[in-house]
Chains A and B, each alone.
Chain A
Amino acid sequence: MAEIPLLSVRNLVVEFPSRRGTLRAIDDVSFDIAEGEVLGMVGESGAGKSLTGAAIIGLLEPPGRIAGGEILLRGERIDNLAAEPMRRIRGKRIGMVFQDPLTSLNPLYTVAEQLIETIRTHISCTERVARERAIALLDRVGIPAARRRIDDYPHHFSGGMRQRVVIALALAAEPDLVIADEPTTALDVSVQAQIIDVLKEICAERGASVMLITHDMGVIAETADRVAVLYAGRLAEIGPVRDVIQAAEHPYTQGLMGSIPTLTQTDTRLVQIPGSMPRLDAIPKGCPFNPRCPHVMDRCRHDRPVLIARGSKREVACWLYEAVREEVHHG
């Protein structure tokens, strides 16, 4: 029997009812995150990366709602929980780091107040114990002189330092899963790597899994164990990060990889995918990528591709590989 994954997302559908009909922002997305694993989630803006994260932690903003599928945490459904049990899961079992550290912290409370409040919400302990834990946490995320700086307000810290504080807050109650939604996008390039390292190290140390949402393939390559590629709210490809980067199978992923500059590259121009991602109210029939795909076939315009297993660890949603599978079956 296979081990139960820490998080299992099954056929997730997220919809936004609007006056002009219901918009389907996430359509039939499935993936697992194993214990201690780092799953990277890439895609363009609007592909549904952040929405997937919000759906998992139960913070979809109305009128957005989960319209189908299920989300399981250690085998237990959490997508249909009532508000109060779901609140207990947030912070305690699933932590979240947001994009902009400048706006993630409440400006009117000191770092100590926010950390202690979070710790004491989930763990029953005295103020003094919580404070010691908070100092240890700040120290661990790399705030120099944590004991002295803990009583400072957020505006006393730089962007990179604030993101460290945010990470400390997200990890305060030792969650099993940390959803990091573009944790470095708003930061200086020089501190991005440090923040990713801190996040990765601490999570590894505590055995916490990470779902790393980003549009930066470089970050994924260095950090993630596996990567999931989203396009127009649908999963295009998922697999071990090394395989996907070295031999991308979905034409969209291939395009993404072609648009990353490398040092050894001799061409002067980067490859660009023609066109842009469809709007939610105009997703084409069949494969959503078909108008931009260089390998488009007749079938792609009518039938939506299903996820096709490629080896034991990879899956890709593209009709190009259906033929291959059939050949294997017949041969």
Chain B
Amino acid sequence: MTAFIIRRLLQSILVMLTVALVAFALFRFVGDPIASMVGQETTLAERQELREMLGLNDPFIVQFFTFVSRAVVGDFGISYRLQQPVMELILSRLPATLELALVSGFFAFIFGVGFGVYTALRRGGWLSSSIMTISLIGVSLPTFLIGVLLIWVFAVEFQWLPSFGRGDVVDLGGWWRTGLLTESGRASLILPAITLGLYQMTLIMRLVRAEMLEVLRTDYIKFARARGLTNRAVHFGHALKNTLVPVITITGLQLGSIIAFAIITETVFQWPGVGALFINSVRFVDVPVMAAYLMLIALVFVVINLIVDLLYYVVDPRLRVDRAGAGH
């Protein structure tokens, strides 16, 4: 177990270094950062001096090493556009994105599993068929369109929910501003959370349904029925637990994509998260912010992957091979 964790950690570090290399190399080609930092009237000598000061004349390897060693301690430099430390900027925007992502991930998982189990058990029923048909819309409509449609229906026509922003936020300990504690904050969260989670929900639902149908055909389910267990025990005790093993992986990885794809939803709803920050940085070629964002997303994926692998151990006893005398 310990060996497994250490091995996975080493792999994670390798992945992060690769992403760092890509991020670093990629942004060397998006334009000369000096050009966007200085005004028209700056002399060539001054530019050269600035270039030297920022270390832009050092060999590639040296620059990369400096980038990585600073990134490790959370120093991604200063934003060209906002003249603030990048890490500070991202940390101040992160709570908004994480709250949005977790709420929509939770929504996607609960409804995805619920609908998936229902449609698997009531195969052929009219409600199941309707859910399956409607789910096609969730899969096929692009996120921004769903967002705009929801705004049109619930914010413009019915005027039930706000169409943009985060509502009132409460400061928790100076480093986390939450919208979950105020009514306007919660109301503001509903539409973006549904928009962001709808695709993942239909994906989880279809996965759970397929997996559940598969499990219901297995011998151990047949044997559980032959022992006279109640439908409830067979469906939820035996079938669902086995269904969730593969579903956990996908859901975990989907949480990563939710955070990454929050960019579109944040743009549509003007949600003040890191996604919106990234979009604005792209517009101004704010390389440090873009690089930091890329690294952050990579870190989220790596960490989630690690957690998912560990969850596997908790759920599936067959992977715990630490016992002596196995296979008696």
Contacts and interface: CB of A to CB of B under 8 A. Distances in A.
A121 B328 contact: no
A282 B238 CA distance: 39
Contact of B226 (A96, A156, A158): A96
A118 B223 CA distance: 11
Interface in B237-252: 237-238, 241-242, 245
B173 interface: no
Interface stretch (A4-12, A97-105, A198-206, A269-277): A97-105
Nearest to A113: B237
Contacts of A229: none
Given A156-B326, A156-B328, A161-B328, A106 B226 contact: no
B52 interface: no
B42 interface: no
**Which residue, of A83, A98, A110, has the highest number of chain B Cβ atoms within 10 A?**
A98
**Which residue, of B228, B233, B326, B327, has the highest number of chain A Cβ atoms within 10 A?**
B228
Interface stretch (B90-98, B100-108, B258-266, B310-318): B310-318
A57 B317 contact: no
Contacts of B60: none
B63 to A, nearest CB: 51
A156 B323 contact: yes
Given A153-B318, A155-B318, A156-B328, A104 B229 contact: no
Interface in A84-115: 87-92, 95-96, 98, 100, 103-110
A100 B238 CA distance: 18
A83 B325 CA distance: 42
Given A100-B219, A107-B316, A153-B318, A121 B326 contact: no
A211 interface: no
B7 interface: no
Interface size class of A (residues with CB under 8 A): 35 or more
B60 to A, nearest CB: 51
Contact of A173 (B224, B228, B230): B228
Nearest to B244: A108
Contact of B223 (A105, A110, A149, A173): A105
A318 interface: no
Interface string A52-83: 00000101000000000000000000000001
Nearest to A118: B227
A169 interface: yes
Nearest to B220: A106
B328 A90 contact: no
A98 B315 CA distance: 26
A156 B223 contact: no
Contacts of A59: 222, 225-226
Contacts, number: 92
Nearest to B224: A106
Contact of A107 (B237, B318, B326, B328): B318
**Which residue, of B227, B233, B238, B316, has the highest number of chain A Cβ atoms within 10 A?**
B227
B2 interface: no
Given A108-B316, A117-B233, A121-B233, A57 B226 contact: yes
Contacts of A91: 226-229
Contact of A170 (B227, B237, B328): B227
B236 to A, nearest CB: 12
Contacts of B220: 103-107
B286 to A, nearest CB: 49
A325 B239 CA distance: 55
A117 B229 CA distance: 8
A52 to B, nearest CB: 15
B83 interface: no
A172 B224 CA distance: 12
Interface in A118-157: 118, 121-122, 149, 153, 155-157
Contact of B228 (A105, A106, A110, A121): A121
Contacts of A96: 223, 226-227
B216 to A, nearest CB: 11
B218 interface: yes
A103 to B, nearest CB: 4
A166 interface: yes
B327 A156 contact: yes
B222 A98 contact: yes
B108 to A, nearest CB: 24
7 contacts: A87-B230, A98-B222, A108-B242, A155-B317, A156-B325, A156-B327, A170-B227
Given A96-B227, A118-B227, A172-B227, 4 more contacts: A98-B222, A105-B220, A121-B228, A155-B318
Interface of B: 218-220, 222-231, 233, 237-238, 241-242, 245, 315-318, 323, 325-328
Interface of A: 57, 59, 83, 87-92, 95-96, 98, 100, 103-110, 117-118, 121-122, 149, 153, 155-158, 161, 166, 169-170, 172-173
